[in-house]
Structure 1
Amino acid sequence: MNQNLLDLTVAIPTYNGATRLIQVLEALRQQVQTENIAWEIIIIDNNSSDQTAQIVKDYQATWTQNYPLNYYFEGQQGLAFARERAIQEAKGQWIAFLDDDNIPASDWIATAYDFGNHHPQAGAFSGQIHGEFEVKPPENFKKIAAFLAIREHGPKPFQFDPDHLRLPPGAGLVVRKQAWREAVPNTPKVVGNQGDVLARGDDYAPLLYLHKMGWEILYNPAMHINHQIPHWRLERDYLLSLARACGLATCQLRMINAKTGEKPGIIVRTIAGNLRRMIGHRLKYGEKLQSELIPAFEMEFYLGSMMSPLFYIKNTITGKGSAGQ
């Protein structure tokens, strides 16, 4: 187990990110006000089949910064496993996660480190995430922007509400390594892609474990990153599959901090509540669900959420990703 030798680690999990990594690394080379911060960058290559390893090797060959750039290969596919590998390898007391399409502002490291030092009860915190779009988003996109990890919560810090699954995404998340190691299972209980079933919950699951141990999850408005959104992530098929996937994780996430006696009630409320939402949504939009993307997205999310107890029960029986065990 690595000891905490540095102040902060920037961890970049990536899968086939060779064409995207360059911008992230260049942004990290331009960080300001880090003279008094001991930090490092680690790349977690999550079983890529492109030139990711070579890109990092080329950077390392000419790397002259006073903070190291290290590369690790994680062969077990899945973001949860890549992040757990980052936790194992990181030497920083704080671990700042960036996806390979997240471009941090020039003061992102400095503002993150300063915020962490001033909030001793913070187990994790996140900042503002702005969309950088390849094509114009659809009408009323703001209603679903959070599903694509775009979060602009305004200028005031606040504490997130894990009990109602109001949490920041993993993109741009900064976590206290000690808190993660004490609270989050070493073997991730995956609330994500499983076989041919797509579910999205890996961002929230670790935060719920941190909350269970009493750590605060906070918002730091001074941190800014740009999230690059390619055209295909705004296409109908992708967005509807994303909506369903996020919905399917709902019940598993709620079970993480639920007591045994509370679980049957959560299952009933999840099914009944989302069935009611679906009926109301159908009555409101009718045939427009076929033509208007955002209402269709919301319907798919309600449908996935309604189905999520069945997904949870199946995984509990098979032992796959049973987050509440």
Structure 2
Amino acid sequence: MKGISVIICCYNSAERIGATLKHLKGQMWKEDACWEVILIDNNCTDNTVNAALTVWENHPVKLKLVKEQKAGLIHAREAGIRAAVYDYLVFCDDDNWLDEIYIQTVFTLFENNEQAGAIGGQSTIAVQNGEMIPTWFKAEENAYAVGKQAMQSGDVTERLYLWGAGLAVRKHIAEKCFDEDFPFLLTGRSGKAVTAGDDSEICNRIVLMGYRLLYDERLKYEHFIPSIRLTEDYLIQMKNGFERSYGVLTLYSECIRAIVLNKRSKAAVLRETINERPFNKGKLLRMVYWIYGLALYVNNDMRMIRAYYKKHLSY
């Protein structure tokens, strides 16, 4: 169904969700209310749900509440995808204040770009509780999904990723990304754990399917960042999370560049990988087979790839 489903994943978001929803209420949407907001309660123990309902009260657009007990951002997003009724999705973090034309621009971009699988924008400002932003922040702002993702609007597929903040994805592509037979290797934020890489894994899978990644500077949002996250200690934790995801994302990159960008045969790459990298070298190499197997998956031979997984990749 043509429209936008905005998915907000929450873990103890009571202090943030009000401002996020107030910005969503101000959206300038030309269509006939063909959008919805889906709030995922990912084991919240605070007043997140009541705070959201209070802010959204009497708004004509539906606010749908979904409970997801499996901890982790990836699982919350999957729950949102399942609950969505519209063709296009926007993952709005609980601290993203979307510009008033955000969802209309996403809708128009998807309607006019058939090969676009995912679209990202820019954060124009880092908002804090009226306090001074650290002097080091400007040099590190991209780690916080703040700033521009590219020099200009256009195709950024070669970059292989977009920020998860404000990320827009076609629903049928997201459903394929989150196929239960192919669980994610990087599960994203879980509770207070500072992890990373799940946004990139989603984008990598989209590129493996043959779709493009677009950046459009008209998609703007403000990013609310509390003081507790603007410390050098928190920055180090984030960078450690990025580093831990590097190995997995490098394997995706190898697969994408060999098969998608260089258009080599999926079967040939798989055969070479099996011959060159025996199975007895540990978990990391098992991930190699996982990802090359995923390349076969995008070729839609589900019978073959499920048998491949069952034979080689059970833990």
- Same fold by TM-score greater than 0.5: yes
Q: 2:99 aligns with which of 86, 105, 117?
A: 105
CA distance in 1, matches of 2:30, 2:73: 28
Any idea what SS the aligned residue of 1:48 has?
coil
2:59 corresponds to which residue? 64
Contact persistence 1:111–1:223 (CA under 8 A): yes
Contact persistence 1:170–1:203 (CA under 8 A): yes
2:10 corresponds to which residue? 14
Contact persistence 2:73–2:189 (CA under 8 A): no
2:184 corresponds to which residue? 189
CA distance in 2, matches of 1:143, 1:36: 42
1:212 corresponds to which residue? 208
Contact persistence 2:25–2:59 (CA under 8 A): no
Cα 1:36–1:57 change in 2 (3 A) is closer
Contact persistence 1:184–1:210 (CA under 8 A): no
Contact persistence 2:126–2:146 (CA under 8 A): no
Q: 1:227 aligns with which of 219, 223, 226?
A: 223
Q: TM-score, normalised by structure 2?
A: 0.76
Shift of 1:148: 0.7
1:252 corresponds to which residue? 248
Cα 1:197–1:114 change in 2 (3 A) is closer
Letter of the structure 2 residue corresponding to residue 131 of structure 1: I
CA distance in 1, matches of 2:59, 2:43: 27
Shift of 1:316: 6.5
Please give the residue correspondences for 1:274-313 in structure 2 after superposition, counting only pairs within 5 Å: none
Unaligned residue ranges in structure 1 (runs of 5+): 267-311
CA RMSD in angstroms, aligned pairs only:
3.0
Shift of 1:15: 0.7
Contact persistence 1:125–1:217 (CA under 8 A): yes
Cα 1:37–1:316 change in 2 (3 A) is farther
Deviations 1:186-215 (A, max 9, x none): 364141469998541111111100100100
Contact persistence 2:73–2:188 (CA under 8 A): no
Deviations 1:276-303 (A, max 9, x none): xxxxxxxxxxxxxxxxxxxxxxxxxxxx
1:202 corresponds to which residue? 198
Any idea what SS the aligned residue of 1:132 has?
strand
1:81 corresponds to which residue? 75
Any idea what SS the aligned residue of 1:144 has?
helix
CA distance in 1, matches of 2:196, 2:138: 20
Unaligned residue ranges in structure 2 (runs of 5+): 256-268, 294-315
Matched, 1:122 2:111: no
Cα 1:265–1:22 change in 2 (3 A) is farther
Matched, 1:132 2:126: yes
Contact persistence 1:133–1:231 (CA under 8 A): no
Please give the residue correspondences for 1:126-165 in structure 2 after superposition, counting only pairs within 5 Å: 126-134=120-128, 135-153=131-149, 156-162=152-158, 165=160
User: Quick one: percent identity of the two aligned structures?
Assistant: 26
Cα 1:35–1:316 change in 2 (3 A) is same
CA distance in 2, matches of 1:232, 1:6: 40
CA distance in 2, matches of 1:263, 1:16: 45
